[in-house]
Amino acid sequence: TAGEHAIHIHQTADCTSADGKSAGGHWNPTGKPHGKWGDVTGYHKGDIGNFTADENGNGTISMTTDESCIGCGDSTKDILGKAVIVHAGADDFTSQPSGAAGARVSCAGIIE
């Protein structure tokens, strides 16, 4: 749907449940509180942010980081085997534990 949506990395690449809950909670290997990506007060490594979808439901997000890797083996950075989840609403970057972003509406596994 059109509008602002949260996007997060979740604990596991399991997208088998219709509600996306099989992917677990936000990926948070450092045990920080939920927040805005890069905030000095802390954030989950899976707290990516928000993006805007157009009237056809299409949207893009782009970022560059050294906070994550695919297949590097560092448990605080490696997103292989995690899931990318899009939520129905926007992340408020404050509410614990997940930013009051609403239902999970899309799930994709990071598998290679």
Which one from 5, 74, 78, 104 is the annotated catalytic residue? 104
Which one from 14, 19, 34, 92 is the annotated catalytic residue? 34
Which one from 14, 47, 54, 66 is the annotated catalytic residue? 47
5 is catalytic: no
44 is catalytic: yes
Q: Is the peptide bond before 29 cis (omega within 30 degrees of 0)?
A: no
Per-residue burial over 40-62, b if 16 or more Cβ lie within 10 Å, else e, is eeebbbbbbbbeeeeeeeebeee
34 is catalytic: yes
92 is catalytic: no
Which one from 19, 26, 74, 92 is the annotated catalytic residue? 26
* Amino acid present at 42: G
User: What residues are annotated to the active site?
Assistant: 8, 10, 26, 34, 44, 47, 87, 104
